Amino acid sequence: MTPLSLPTASVAPQKRPLRIAIIAHSVYPITEPYAGGLEMITHLLCDKLVAAGHEVLLYAHADSQTEATLVPLLSRQAFETMVYPNEHESVAMGREEMYQYLTYQHALRDIIERDGRGEIDVVHNHSLHHIPMMMGQVFGKRFFTTFHTPIFPQLRLALLTLQLGTDTQFTSISEYQQKLFAEFVPSKVVYNGIDVDFFDAQLTPIDDEVYLWYGRICPEKGTHLAMQYCLAAGKRLIIAGPKSNAQYFEQSVAPLLLQDKQQGSDLLDYVGHKTKAEINRYLSQATAMLFTSTWDEPYGLILAESLACGTPVIGFDVGACAEIVTPETGIVIAKEDKAAFIKAFDNIKTISRAACRARAKLFCADTTMVDGYLDLYYQTLTPEQQSLSTAQKPSAATPKHLPSMPPPQATPSLDTLPQHAEG
């Protein structure tokens, strides 16, 4: 008798680990305490990809700390050795502009050479600079650029060319950001994520009413507005963050601190630049986090971090704020509406801290961000290339720190670099 043939379930082939080159913004190290949100996201993405078994090369400042293999970008010392003291003048550009230009040319040259040896599957650009966007054309669909900022002039230079046609791919960190860049190139939304489990949440109401403002202290973050509103309402405010703009701090923040001290009200307390763990402690004990950015934040990582701590938000309706903060997790008001902001101090106490934490887990998790990027990475490969059984096996472990790249010949341009990204 012929034996029965039972149907066999089809098993999807196991996807192989990827070899990913990530280009960071060069000005600040990718390490704590973070200079801004971009550094934090770059750090988190690299470490999570490595933890998932992928090989990651991080092109970043030499002082960066990462689980990926660090490839130090061109150092300023090497740059000064490479070019004449007045060489930037001969090409009619600032010396810092020339440094940034050469930095990314060197990085892309190294990546292209590694790719030629079959060592790289995809390249992911977080640099904020136009050079990687243009030189990345050699990789076609395997080159990704994530938009973290508004359209700075330098990015616009590249976009004006790329809108004529490109095989490279783009991602945005919010729907607001996606609409902003749609004039030039299409992009897919991959929301930023945070390590929600890192943050200890306080889910019961806070007895001692106190508010927290934190972030880079600069005009566009509106630090002084949070201070003014708290002084007017008689509310205690803790201020944390680096003095990114010293002039703004001295002219707009320091006088309010002095006024508070002279009046003996003791409502305002500037505690300096803090680590993520320290911010966690402040957030979890705050009645609410105050978000007073006056520019259109493309995402707003502090919003996600606040929700992860169970802390509701009172914030301006700018950028992607309303995509993250729902009516169940905070109060979003018109920008610089002082009366509405002060009224929110009373209404915010009805917000469930447990609902804030739940929103963070659902919408702001780093796993969602990493999975979103990995899905896009794998889509650049054929099914055969994706399969662990048919593709080249992962290479041997790479040292965690590679020597700096040798300087190639490069031709500077006349372009400038934005100072920093969101966060």
Long-range contacts of range 337-345, CB-CB < 8 Å, 24 or more positions apart?
Answer: 338/228, 338/229, 338/232, 341/229, 341/314, 342/229, 342/232, 342/233, 344/314, 345/211, 345/233, 345/235, 345/288, 345/314
Q: Is the pLDDT of residue 229 over 90?
A: yes
pLDDT the model gives residue 315: 98
pLDDT the model gives residue 400: 62
385 — pLDDT class (breaks 50, 70, 90): confident
Q: Which of 51-65, 106-120, 389-403 has the lowest mean pLDDT?
A: 389-403
pLDDT the model gives residue 68: 97
pLDDT the model gives residue 394: 43
CATH assignment, 19-193+365-386: 3.40.50.2000
Q: Is the pLDDT of residue 91 over 80?
A: no
- pLDDT, one tens digit per residue, over 107-117 is 999 999 999 99
13 — pLDDT class (breaks 50, 70, 90): low
For 167-174, what is the mean pLDDT? 97
Domain boundaries, the chain: 19-193+365-386, 196-363
Q: Is the pLDDT of residue 355 over 50?
A: yes
pLDDT the model gives residue 386: 80
pLDDT the model gives residue 282: 97
Q: Is the pLDDT of residue 90 over 80?
A: no
For 233-247, what is the mean pLDDT? 96
Q: Which of 150-164, 319-333, 343-357, 407-421 has the lowest mean pLDDT?
A: 407-421
Residues 364, 196 contacting (CB under 8 angstroms): yes
pLDDT the model gives residue 88: 79
* Topology agreement, domain 19-193+365-386 and domain 196-363: yes
> 56 or 404, which is more confident?
56
pLDDT the model gives residue 402: 61
Q: Is the pLDDT of residue 180 over 80?
A: yes
- pLDDT, one tens digit per residue, over 254-297 is 999 999 999 999 999 999 999 989 999 999 999 999 999 999 99
Element (H, E) at 375: helix 366-379
Q: What is the mean pLDDT of the chain?
A: 89
Percentage of the chain exceeding pLDDT 90: 77
Q: Is the pLDDT of residue 3 over 70?
A: no
Give the integer Cα–Cα distance in Å for 244 and 38: 15
Give the integer Cα–Cα distance in Å for 202 and 200: 7
Give the integer Cα–Cα distance in Å for 91 and 306: 47
Nearest to 23 by CA among 119, 131, 126: 126
pLDDT the model gives residue 420: 45
pLDDT the model gives residue 7: 52
Predicted TM-score of the model (pTM) = 0.82
Q: Which fold has domain 196-363?
A: Rossmann fold (3.40.50)
414 — pLDDT class (breaks 50, 70, 90): very low
382 — pLDDT class (breaks 50, 70, 90): confident
- pLDDT, one tens digit per residue, over 20-49 is 999 999 999 999 888 888 999 999 999 999
